Chain A
């Protein structure tokens, strides 16, 4: 332990200095506030006590409640009323609020990919001023904090990482019979998949539908399917638009991603075309899946022996990459990324902003992301990666995988009109998956439809946003 010798003179000088600082306007409580949390409390106190209201889905809210109660005790700022709306329905409701410029909600908890759309509709309050007052920083892993920014402003505080990681059944991968079978068939060693092709080969070889064991647990339904397509597309070196905002999906990289997407039919459950998380997560935890890319929170469920039949049976790692572009690129994805955004029209926006910052501090969010029952909020902060409570909830290998995937995490289309871009792509991919549309037409059709969206929203406007979108894209091909 380090021992400090402080003279009486130094002590008095320091005390006088701090007292003076205490009376300087704007710095009053901060002079004594050392940690990020203390600085947030000090800034919040200056904003005044209030009960804020918001729109948030209860599975996200429940583990936040003790943390909110503490903030209320410290600052008088708490939550008065909330509207319990699913994260999937929140965008529509939020946009209705934006259109009517309603002050009803002080904050909304929503997929951060909606930031461009909601900011364009004039609904969002930039948080930079509040963050400056509390000297607050989003201490996220790698460049993940960029997901909260749009056109140079910060609009959200993350509560949920939701990054995709690779899941592979360890027991199946280490089984000597499987190893032999795989080596005989493919002439190579059975090991953790590094490319999309590896992953498919493993799934195809190890699946056994007669035992209700299917190769893949990745989603292919209309709503979620694009999330998987983006991972492959980005890893093949593709990007959604050129500098003039012409869609560039219908390219060799795009077609490669479509092929990978559709070949899944051979290894996925026959009903995968309509399955979302309510169907797939139980199947993963019950051991009916060989491998998949999935949201990181599922690791928490897998490793909870009270809820899972596969505890200790998984390997976690980096999502597969692709050599398609000539170099190996890995791209994970975070969507929906739940974040707290503040309503510009709210009379209590300062209080709501500070509450969001309080919930978004690395330290305060540890109990939120490690809740063993309400597992919706997933690890995202640097502090989470070393916190025993979080490691205990996810397992050490899963945390390592989360950290690795964050380094190459990308968004879907991070532009105004996100939902429309997303649904159009999802519709066409889904039509191809169920045989309503030839695979070769998927991207041609999507490009045409995206072009119409760009024209309607405004090419010039979207061109201005492109920099924000590119800023969110990862800078490295694979984790350092």
Chain B
């Protein structure tokens, strides 16, 4: 391999003073952003994670002594959690809940966004109306829903009157329906989140590919399915991933409405962790559970990041291929 030497190479390796100043500016800016984040991580998050790790490898029974006297038990608590069928079912319920509500939120949010993304008279009013549920406190959503979802409550009554058929599901007390009920509330509460992301995504799509498709005589459906949706894929993934992670952590509505019941029908991961930690006061087992859930979420996030990168790459490729001169 030939290495370039001499004055020309030296000139290239010596940036100009202006360039150096620019680089220093970028460096300063980077540290001004990163510095507080690293400090937050070091002084707030890491101590909490460390303490939680301490608890998860020490058996602390709150009635018997102080936390620093707790017995070291190694990974016993992790083993206990991983072999606890109640935890296993809580994971299954959380996954079902998060998947169902994420898809529901996305479909509703996307549908509303599609209706809303082109400017029209009164758009701002509808925009506010559509995001109102997201601004409602989850506990308020739960208590309001409780009043409306009794078997002889207004929702069933309204549906019965409209349909002319007696509609009497037990939304909150039938163990087969209780979790889907909370899922519906989650969709009502958080569909606006997907709506906002998708409105932004739809508005950011370049007009050219759509106009080109229109000139070529493509139907609206084909434009939507073959132009808009592919261009929106990274945004769609982002909306799905963020909502899924949020839904996995849903607690206030589930707890306020059902406290894990009827039976154990709505005992999701956050509910079970709360019961274990603050009802049973098994702080150590709760910490081990939290760590396992944390690892699970990290895996999900890493997978999501991979997917997002792949989507971004394919989108970049698509833009390059469709770029000027092609």
Contact = CB atoms under 8 A, between A and B. Distances in A.
Contacts of B279: 92, 419-420, 423
Interface string A418-445: 0110010001001101111100000000
B150 to A, nearest CB: 7
Point out which of B67, B151, B172, B175 has the most chain A C-beta atoms below 10 A from its C-beta. B175
A416 interface: yes
Contacts, number: 98
Given A99-B67, A271-B151, A430-B264, 14 more contacts: A222-B259, A273-B261, A274-B172, A274-B258, A416-B63, A419-B279, A420-B281, A423-B280, A427-B264, A430-B262, A431-B264, A433-B262, A434-B173, A436-B264
Interface class of chain A by DSSP = helix
Nearest to B173: A274
26 contacts: A92-B278, A92-B279, A96-B278, A98-B62, A117-B63, A121-B63, A221-B262, A222-B261, A222-B262, A271-B172, A271-B173, A273-B173, A273-B261, A274-B261, A275-B173, A423-B275, A427-B260, A430-B263, A430-B264, A433-B262, A433-B263, A434-B173, A434-B175, A434-B265, A436-B265, A457-B64
A457 B264 contact: no
A66 interface: no
Interface string A438-456: 0000000000000001001
B173 A458 contact: no
A56 B232 CA distance: 52
A449 B308 CA distance: 44
A461 B62 CA distance: 13
Contact of B262 (A212, A434, A458): A434
Contact of B62 (A121, A279, A435): A121
Interface in A264-305: 270-275, 279
Interface of A: 92, 95-96, 98-99, 117, 120-121, 212, 221-223, 270-275, 279, 416-417, 419-420, 423, 427, 430-431, 433-437, 453, 456-458, 461
Given A271-B151, A457-B61, A419 B262 contact: no
B257 to A, nearest CB: 9
A417 B39 CA distance: 39
B33 to A, nearest CB: 35
Contacts of B282: 420, 456
B153 to A, nearest CB: 10
B170 interface: yes
Nearest to B65: A122
A270 B171 CA distance: 11
Given A270-B173, A420-B279, A457 B63 contact: yes
Contact of A419 (B61, B175, B281): B281
B166 to A, nearest CB: 13
A333 to B, nearest CB: 20
A201 B170 CA distance: 26
B270 to A, nearest CB: 14
Contacts of A212: 152
B227 to A, nearest CB: 48
Contacts of A96: 278
A416 B150 CA distance: 37
A436 B263 CA distance: 7
A434 B265 CA distance: 10
A420 B280 contact: yes
A458 B64 contact: yes
A267 to B, nearest CB: 16
Contacts of A419: 279-281
Nearest to A223: B259
Given A419-B279, A420-B280, A420-B281, A436 B175 contact: yes
